[in-house]
Amino acid sequence: MSNIQVTHDSSVNNARSESNIVVNPNNPKQIVAGSKKFKDIHNYDFILATEYSTDGGLSWHDSAAFTLSGFTLLTDPALAWDDVGNVYLVGLSGNNPPTFDTVGIVIYRSTDGGQTWSAPKPIHNSAGDDKQWAAGDANPASPFHGRVYAVWDDGSDMRFARTTDHGATWVGTGAGATPAGTVLVNDSFSPEINVAANGDIYIVWIAGNEIKMIVSTDGGDSFSPATSPATGVTTLDAGLPAPHGWPVFPGGTFRVLTIPSASVFGSTIAVAWADFREGVSRIYCAVSTDGGASWPTGLSGKEQSSRVVYAGRSA
């Protein structure tokens, strides 16, 4: 199959970044892709935009524009499907120019495969909100199928929200209508959330030189710590120069960060990250076959490649 270009624009002002793509697990012909779309790249002014496919990615179409309410920009797209064909976009809202001022986390829902989007639903407002991620439980065999989960940073606090009614309301952990944005841990950077086929929820993040994990087996009612996938990590920001205020590779100008990414298959969990312990960026991984109880790859993980320089989510 040849490569297929998803977005088309002749203006460099409309450059794209921070792309995310999700396939409907119950209808693989439905795919939605999202990315940051600049309106004025020189003044760091941007919005989010999505595209959708109904034929498994062979052709793509621009979605309708997102409605903005109380903010002028969106960034950091995170997409997830539920069990009845709704797709959700978790976005970070803010205002810019003249300065970038974060408003908070908003949710959009599409009931037609990403062709159009609902009005935004704000679920948390804080100037520290950032680095959100989302995952849905679309497995009919899961006792929690239909739930969609979101996790994000608020400073170093990791916050969590979920919907149990297909996006009508968003709540936190615990029983009843708890407020969205429950704090789960206090040492988080860029958490990622994954859902196993049985409904178990796994969240990984980087905390200093350690990759950590928490697990929920009750649909997000509560979380418990798991054994850390790796310790002794040398993050890219610890090993690289930061001439512009963020770490860059020699000769580069774009941000590179150590952000762990995970995947779950049954009780097997694989976590990968960029590590600078050898003086160059290499990809390391840790694998557990018992739901995160133990990691036979060792305390500091296992090198995967000497040729790959970066993997994981957008910085």
Which CATH number do you get for residue 210? Answer: 2.120.10.10
**19 and 103 share a domain?**
yes
Answer yes or no: are the C-beta atoms of 129 and 102 closer than 8 Å.
yes
Q: What is the pLDDT of residues 103-152, one digit of tens each?
A: 999 999 999 999 999 999 999 999 999 999 999 999 999 999 999 999 99
Amino acid at site 228: S
Q: Global pTM?
A: 0.94
pLDDT tens readout for residues 15-37:
999 999 999 999 999 999 999 99
Query: Cα(95)–Cα(98) distance, rounded to whole angstroms?
Result: 8
Q: Which helix (H) or strand (E) holds 9?
A: none
Residue 14 CA to residue 41 CA, distance in Å, equals 7
Assess whether 60 and 155 both reside in one domain: yes
Domain assignment present for 286: yes
Q: How confident is the model at residue 309 (pLDDT cuts 50, 70, 90)?
A: very low
Give the Cβ contact number of residue 161 at 10 Å.
27
Burial 124-135 (b: 16+ CB within 10 A, else e): bebeebbbbbbb
Residue 203 lies in a domain: yes
Tokens representing 263 are 């995947």
| First-residue to last-residue Cα distance in the chain | 30
Structure tokens at 159: 């916050």
Residues 33 and 144 in one domain: yes
pLDDT digits (tens, 9 = 90+) for 246-283: 999 998 888 999 999 999 999 999 999 999 999 999 99
- The tokens describing 38, both together, are 């600049």
Alpha carbon distance 105, 150 (integer Å) = 10
Is there a single domain that holds both residue 184 and residue 286? no
* 1 within some domain: no
In a domain, 4, yes or no: no
- Identify the domain containing residue 306 by its residue range: 234-315
Residue 192, C-beta contacts closer than 8 angstroms, at least 6 positions apart: 133, 151, 203, 204, 205, 259, 260, 261, 262, 313
- Integer Cα distance of 286 and 291 in angstroms: 12
